[in-house]
A and B are shown apart, each in its own frame.
Chain A
């Protein structure tokens, strides 16, 4: 396996009035292609900031990072948009579906604009929503909405799937099903998946666990034999 993502000394500082907050203060890590990685830490540890920078939604104040050999940290806004458009799939805690579009259309919203997308219907079938294609978000349960959200991210055929607390708003059983979907996707398509969570209980399922604390990487653990999701309890 080759190094797919390489973070070196990434820094991000927010200013709140006169106070400077070092959300991320020199983060270094690397992730291999096809890995299922989990970034874990308490609230305010800086994990979301890392994900936002990695996903091109935010820019770093210092340091460099590469994705697939390209230096993303020097991209301008327009290049970042193109990067998000073609290379990144996002899954959020609160799904962020467009309320005015049905499931199929929410997926189409993403595939309309990118180059090597998959057929939205097939992807929705794969996430188990073949009979919910024409329902609007308000007519779907939380788990179903998150599946749509994953389908929307996957349909773009991204290089990288970034998930910010994907189970945060779901009950345990639904949450597990979602995590399984993500893990299976990673295994079957060879897509690199990064999941952010504050729930340390799920870390055994990952290939690599990056623990963060106070804006820095506390430890990086590699699981040689990840535990299947079904066997994890929390």
Chain B
């Protein structure tokens, strides 16, 4: 029995190839998108992980306020769980060209390559340095300097110190181009010199540094050799080593502090002893001296006593030694890239829903039509005595074949083309090796099974009704769907006003209800996808503009070191007020704190402005929705929006500010302010003083400038950074620019959404309109005979499509609104709040694009209408 059945199936496929193709295509496209978008995030992460493993990216980076000596390194080596340890040097230096300068991070390259060589560079061209005065650099990305192999680079310190105190030579010749795993992002961090932004990096031989102590230690953990970067598994396994290192950090920083202190005390004691001896010898020889001589010597003694006393004071105020145990999450490249991959992942959550729904719809309609056409065949088979099960087999195999072939094509495309395309969009922002395309066979098989199950079960379901009828009634042609009076006709007010052809359209719409719903759902999916795409762009695109344009009203931020002397503070203030275009400034305290409400805790920055009346003209504190301005008072604190959501605080709640491990201050929340980047808590200085029992030490200055010209920025920041005590200078519009770059990566996601929406609407409308035309062949032929012109005929058919498309896209906007909300919230990263507004233009473009897509389908199918042969169509009996 099998042979005839298969012969029949293959003939069936050949005969109705476009229908077979439609099922195949929707399955292929759905799977390609689903698999492709789901694989992009893992592929991106796997690629980075492999690169990190190959190049041994550090798991921890230790920094200390006094550097690391041999004893420090020895005691760290004793910590269990360490796989590799590499002490290193690094300094920030400046490279000058004619009129610009760049900050370059200079790293040491170890002499020996062994297990302990961490953050290995990949050599892209040339060779590694072999002797003093040679360097390797990043592939050139500087605008005004062309750094190539053979170029001589001259480094300067960028401040008053002499760079030759830190390195043996300041002239280097480029011998190779490298890529370091420390810097996969364009953003390379901040610096205390130059314009405050690290522009590029270079490696020089370790022996070219002559710093007394190492200023960083890179460590890899043996616990995470098998773990993948960016995963929870990694984060969990890394924790035990972190704890051990933190313990060593506390222990060693105390020891180092005491060492420094006791060394100073020892020096002091030597001086004191000398002084004592001198006093003794003076006392012994006093009788031989004249009065004048005695007077001079005693004066000298008083001075010496004063010096000793000053030294004693200084010893008491030696700053505490602080060690920081930094993990990969402080590496900008690692964090940015991980976030970019996660954003992709969030988008992938939307696709399956819409595509699966549409794929099911298309399968149902296409196979439904096939079964309808084959009524008499089914009747004959039944009459011949074939079982229902056997008859259904044909349609089951037909559908399964389509979905199997489509599925394989979809999986092939999904695992290869899509991730490459998407990751390609990121390649402009991140320097990484070629994307690794992972093939997850379990995932692939699972997707295939679902696809085949969905299509084959839809075949069985649509067959069921027909199969239940008896053979004789099946062999009689199915009567065309009868016309009916529709509800609209009962409203003569509207009905009478409609043009005749519009009445026909209205009736047809309601005549084929299932087609009505399917088209509306398909088109709604299309518009929704478009809106999600544009909404993503809107919300991410506005972060920078809102944060640095509307919320932060100042143009420049200066960070200054803690505990500056009064003179230094005055000096900085004078430098600032001498900036051309200077308007006003506000001193602030900014430091990292933890707050909690109930068991929910979060890290944030506390901001205390010196002048509470001025704060709102520097940082707009207002409610996002009502734009109502908040006043910063002594009653309580203001939190940024995402922070308050994170700990679940509402206005009026009492929240706790942690100070150290044990102490907590209770404060009232008096406002939740619009904010998109990082978390802040705003507090008045008097409340701060009341809680912390000390006056706020202002360490940040926000400056307002009028007419800041782009080319002046460099000289302004250079001028300020050169003042003693200034840590960094940054400009708001530079930050804004940085944020506009992130939009580029969103654009590729938007493009994907647009393309998929186009394909989706094409398949849905093509399938449904095609069936519509086939079913109404006679009707269309009749109106052609009656003398309808081509345009009138196509309008007769397409007016329905237009109305369905409009209805569908309106539903789509509604659906898209909620989907976009979901996507935006799930794809948000911890420290960012995406914009919540979708611009009107996004709605409009979504609808217009949907209309264009459906118009395109109409154009394609116009030929089919044109080719309807009146004579043939009218001859056949329905």
Q: Interface of A with B (CB < 8 Å)?
A: 48, 52, 55, 57-58, 78, 81-86, 88, 90, 92, 94, 96-102, 105, 108-110, 112-114, 136-139, 152, 156
B785 proximal to A (CB < 8 A):
yes
Instruction: Please list the 10 inter-chain residue pairs (A to B) with the smallest Cβ-Cβ separation, ordered nearest first.
Output: A85-B787, A138-B482, A100-B483, A84-B787, A136-B483, A99-B480, A96-B782, A57-B870, A100-B507, A110-B786
| A49 to B788 alpha-carbon distance, docked (Å) | 21
- Interface segment, one of B52-60, B174-182, B259-267, B496-504: B496-504
| A58 to B784 alpha-carbon distance, docked (Å) | 12
Assuming the A-B contacts A112-B500, A136-B484, are A100 and B787 also in contact, with contact meaning beta carbons closer than 8 angstroms in the complex? Answer: no
Please tell me which one of the listed residues A78, A84, A102 contacts residue B786 in the complex, with CB atoms under 8 A apart: A84
B792 proximal to A (CB < 8 A):
yes
Please tell me which one of the listed residues B503, B788, B790 contacts residue A105 in the complex, with CB atoms under 8 A apart: B503
Q: How many residues of B contact A (CB 8 A)?
A: 31
28 contacts between A and B (CB under 8 A): A57-B870, A81-B784, A82-B787, A84-B787, A88-B787, A92-B874, A94-B877, A96-B785, A96-B874, A98-B483, A98-B504, A98-B779, A99-B481, A99-B482, A100-B481, A100-B507, A100-B508, A105-B504, A109-B783, A112-B500, A112-B501, A113-B788, A136-B483, A136-B484, A138-B479, A138-B480, A138-B482, A139-B482
Inter-subunit contact B792/A90 (CB<8 Å): no
A residues less than 8 Å from B785 (CB atoms): 55, 57, 84, 90, 96
| A88 to B785 alpha-carbon distance, docked (Å) | 9
B residues less than 8 Å from A58 (CB atoms): 870-871
Q: Which residue of A lies closest to B866 (CB)?
A: A77
A interface footprint on B786-823 (CB within 8 Å = 1, 0 otherwise) = 11111010000000000000000000000000000000
A residues less than 8 Å from B871 (CB atoms): 48, 52, 57-58
Inter-subunit contact B484/A81 (CB<8 Å): no
Q: Which residue of A lies closest to B486 (CB)?
A: A100
Inter-subunit contact A85/B479 (CB<8 Å): no
In the complex, chain B residues 751-782 whose Cβ is within 8 Å of any chain A Cβ: 778-779, 781-782
A residues less than 8 Å from B878 (CB atoms): 94
Inter-subunit contact B789/A78 (CB<8 Å): yes
Please tell me which one of the listed residues A85, A138, A156 contacts residue B483 in the complex, with CB atoms under 8 A apart: A138
| A81 to B782 alpha-carbon distance, docked (Å) | 12
Q: Interface of B with A (CB < 8 Å)?
A: 479-484, 500-501, 503-504, 507-508, 511, 778-779, 781-790, 792, 870-871, 874, 877-878
Q: Which residue of A lies closest to B782 (CB)?
A: A96
| A4 to B356 alpha-carbon distance, docked (Å) | 63
B residues less than 8 Å from A109 (CB atoms): 500, 504, 783, 786
A residues less than 8 Å from B877 (CB atoms): 94
Q: Which residue of A lies closest to B484 (CB)?
A: A136
B residues less than 8 Å from A96 (CB atoms): 778, 781-782, 785, 874
B residues less than 8 Å from A92 (CB atoms): 874
Inter-subunit contact B782/A137 (CB<8 Å): no
Report the tally of A-B residue pairs with Cβ distances under 8 A.
87
B residues less than 8 Å from A112 (CB atoms): 500-501
| A162 to B175 alpha-carbon distance, docked (Å) | 94
| A57 to B786 alpha-carbon distance, docked (Å) | 10
B residues less than 8 Å from A101 (CB atoms): 483, 504, 507
B residues less than 8 Å from A81 (CB atoms): 784, 787-790
A residues less than 8 Å from B504 (CB atoms): 98, 100-101, 105, 109
| A96 to B783 alpha-carbon distance, docked (Å) | 10
Inter-subunit contact A136/B482 (CB<8 Å): yes
Please tell me which one of the listed residues B508, B787, B870 contacts residue A113 in the complex, with CB atoms under 8 A apart: B787
| A85 to B878 alpha-carbon distance, docked (Å) | 25
B residues less than 8 Å from A139 (CB atoms): 482
Q: Which residue of B lies closest to A112 (CB)?
A: B500
Inter-subunit contact B501/A137 (CB<8 Å): no
B residues less than 8 Å from A102 (CB atoms): 483
Please tell me which one of the listed residues A55, A82, A83, A100 contacts residue B511 in the complex, with CB atoms under 8 A apart: A100
| A55 to B481 alpha-carbon distance, docked (Å) | 29
Q: A85-B788, A88-B787, A139-B482 are in contact. List 8 more A-B contacts (CB 8 A).
A: A81-B784, A98-B504, A98-B779, A99-B482, A99-B779, A108-B500, A112-B500, A114-B787
| A202 to B391 alpha-carbon distance, docked (Å) | 47
| A186 to B805 alpha-carbon distance, docked (Å) | 48
A residues less than 8 Å from B507 (CB atoms): 100-101
| A84 to B785 alpha-carbon distance, docked (Å) | 7
Q: Which residue of A lies closest to B873 (CB)?
A: A96
Inter-subunit contact B874/A85 (CB<8 Å): no
| A113 to B501 alpha-carbon distance, docked (Å) | 11
Q: Which residue of A lies closest to B479 (CB)?
A: A138
Q: Which residue of B lies closest to A98 (CB)?
A: B779
Assuming the A-B contacts A92-B874, A138-B482, are A98 and B782 also in contact, with contact meaning beta carbons closer than 8 angstroms in the complex? Answer: yes
B92 to chain A, nearest CB (A): 79
Q: Which residue of A lies closest to B482 (CB)?
A: A138
A50 to chain B, nearest CB (A): 12
B residues less than 8 Å from A138 (CB atoms): 479-480, 482-483
Q: Which residue of B lies closest to A96 (CB)?
A: B782
| A97 to B878 alpha-carbon distance, docked (Å) | 12
A123 to chain B, nearest CB (A): 15
B100 to chain A, nearest CB (A): 70
| A112 to B498 alpha-carbon distance, docked (Å) | 13
Q: Which residue of A lies closest to B480 (CB)?
A: A99
* Most B CB within 10 A of own CB, among A83, A96, A101: A96
Assuming the A-B contacts A92-B874, A98-B779, A98-B782, are A137 and B483 also in contact, with contact meaning beta carbons closer than 8 angstroms in the complex? Answer: yes
Inter-subunit contact A99/B786 (CB<8 Å): no
A residues less than 8 Å from B483 (CB atoms): 98-102, 136-138
A49 to chain B, nearest CB (A): 8
B415 to chain A, nearest CB (A): 45
A13 to chain B, nearest CB (A): 15
Q: Which residue of B lies closest to A152 (CB)?
A: B786
A130 to chain B, nearest CB (A): 19
A164 to chain B, nearest CB (A): 8
| A178 to B782 alpha-carbon distance, docked (Å) | 21
| A82 to B786 alpha-carbon distance, docked (Å) | 9
Q: Which residue of A lies closest to B781 (CB)?
A: A96
* Most A CB within 10 A of own CB, among B480, B787, B878: B787
| A108 to B498 alpha-carbon distance, docked (Å) | 14
